[in-house]
């Protein structure tokens, strides 16, 4: 170590001015977005290597570059940047990236031929069309919020293969087709709101009349579903129940309308934990006998992952925690883990809850594969998820492309 402090005691110099290891030349360094107008139209070579470009479009702010600079900003910005990278890896993968497994070379160069698998019999073009199967679990507050529009975009464009949410996540989507949810304030007093017939979800307000409209819409449908059960032998599960509601609402602003139209399964193991449960309870007095089979749906949900055999891959996008998070992760346990995983949540792991658990805990259970590179970002999903989607699924010229018809 070279130092001008020759008069310092050696023990002090060692403690305070100990020599650093040399960082690799290509090590990423911290650099955020530069809002100042660039001196020239091109970024320096060091900026380009670091991935934190400062170029503007037409002299204004380049929001694509701003979002890309998250990766080298540090703290949760870097975690969000890593989530974006992981989702793009998820979108980029194709079965054609994997070697065919029909032959294996033994010692001495002799080939050992196996019975070809179904995937090995596909043409190169067919293999290039097979992509990651993406599971998305999200909490109910996200359809209450404006993240509903982001989820609707994903469902409309068939970008997610399997959804899972809670009862609130289902009903709030349909309720918004019938009436509006409003901006309120976290500090509004519950007692005052109760007297006014207003329900508070964080800083959102939902008039009680919205739930009355939901009841008026849902009750006749429950009568029809019971009639079909009794007369036609229709076997209802939570997912088929949700699909039926999606078709009945017939509203293009609805997440679950698009799921129904595009045959995207939606699982909700806690279907009764919300207004839908209230309606089913009330219906049991008026017209009892409707059966919704949860056991059938746990088979359906687990098969969504179990039947995706290696080398095919699955990916998890988990927004928030609770039952939706665990249901998607546990389904992937049936295939020995998801290959890609992104968690986005404000929950922490100090209390041992599954909601706050980091992805590495899921690795210990076999819900994420040993060689995966999962990422968790500690961020409110109303901020983080639209930003993530803007640089992944919705990125112009990005890695997601529609499947061939």
Give the span between the Cα atoms of 239 and 224, in whole angstroms: 17
The reply to whether 367 belongs to the active site is: yes
Cβ distance 86 to 132 under 8 Å? no
Cβ distance 229 to 291 under 8 Å? yes
Q: In terms of C-beta density within 10 A (0-12 exposed, 13-18 middle, 19 or more buried), how is residue 62 classed?
A: middle
Going by their DSSP bridges, the two strands 111-113 and 266-267 should be labelled as: unpaired
Q: Within 13 A of 210's CA, how many CA atoms are on the CB side? A: 21
* Residue with tokens 């009355």, as numbered in its chain: 212
Handedness of CA 309, 314, 316, 317 (dihedral sign): negative
Q: Which of 312, 358, 348, 304 is nearest to 330 (CA)?
A: 304
Instruction: Single out the catalytic residue among 53, 176, 313, 367.
Output: 367
Kindly report the length of the chain.
405
Q: Which two tokens stand for residue 370?
A: 């040993």
Give the span between the Cα atoms of 256 and 145, in whole angstroms: 15
Task: State the DSSP string of 268-331.
Answer: -TTTTSSHHHHHHHHHHHHS----B-HHHHHHHHHHHHHTS-TTS-EEEEEES-HHHHHHHHHH
**CA–CA distances in Å: residue 204 to residues 138, 200, 255, 280, 345:** 18, 6, 19, 25, 19
In which region does residue 109 sit, left (phi positive, over 0), alpha (psi from -120 to 50) or beta (all else)?
Answer: left
Q: Which two tokens stand for residue 67?
A: 């979002």
* Residue with tokens 């001008």, as numbered in its chain: 4
Give the span between the Cα atoms of 27 and 19, in whole angstroms: 18
Enzyme catalytic residues: 367
């Amino acid at each position: 170590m070279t130092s001008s402090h020759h008069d310092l005691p050696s023990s002090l110099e060692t403690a305070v001015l100990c020599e650093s290891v040399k960082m690799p030349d290509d090590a990423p360094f911290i650099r955020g977005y530069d809002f100042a107008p660039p001196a020239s139209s091109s970024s320096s070579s060091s900026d380009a290597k670091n991935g934190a470009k400062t170029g503007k479009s037409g002299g204004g702010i380049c929001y694509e570059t701003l979002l890309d600079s998250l990766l080298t900003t540090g703290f949760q910005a870097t975690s969000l940047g890593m989530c974006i990278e992981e989702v793009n890896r998820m979108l980029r993968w194709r079965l054609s990236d994997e070697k065919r497994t029909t032959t294996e070379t033994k010692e001495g160069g002799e080939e050992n031929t196996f019975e070809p698998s179904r995937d090995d019999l596909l043409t190169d073009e067919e293999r290039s069309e097979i992509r990651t199967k993406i599971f998305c679990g999200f909490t109910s507050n996200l359809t209450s919020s404006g993240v509903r529009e982001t989820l609707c975009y994903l469902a409309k464009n068939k970008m997610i293969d399997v959804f899972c949410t809670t009862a609130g996540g289902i009903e709030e989507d349909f309720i918004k087709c019938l009436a509006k949810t409003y901006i309120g304030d976290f500090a509004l007093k519950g007692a005052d709101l109760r007297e006014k017939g207003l329900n508070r979800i964080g800083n959102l307000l939902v008039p009680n009349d919205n739930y009355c409209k939901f009841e008026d819409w849902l009750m006749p449908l429950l009568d029809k579903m019971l009639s079909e059960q009794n007369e036609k032998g229709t076997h209802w599960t939570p997912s088929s129940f949700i699909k039926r509601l999606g078709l009945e609402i017939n509203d293009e602003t609805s997440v679950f309308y698009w799921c129904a139209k595009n045959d995207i399964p939606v699982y909700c193991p806690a279907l009764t934990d919300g207004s839908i449960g209230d309606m089913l309870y009330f219906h049991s007095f008026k017209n009892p006998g409707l059966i919704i089979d949860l056991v059938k749906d746990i088979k359906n949900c687990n098969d969504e992952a179990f039947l995706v055999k290696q080398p095919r891959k699955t990916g998890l996008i988990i927004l928030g925690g609770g039952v939706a998070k665990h249901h998607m992760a546990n389904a992937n346990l049936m295939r020995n883990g998801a290959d890609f995983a992104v968690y986005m949540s404000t929950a922490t792991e100090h209390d041992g809850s599954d909601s706050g658990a980091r992805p590495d805990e899921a690795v210990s259970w076999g819900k994420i594969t040993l060689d995966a590179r999962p990422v968790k970002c500690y961020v409110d999903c109303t901020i983080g998820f639209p930003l993530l989607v803007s640089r992944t699924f919705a990125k112009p010229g990005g890695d997601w492309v529609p499947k061939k018809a």
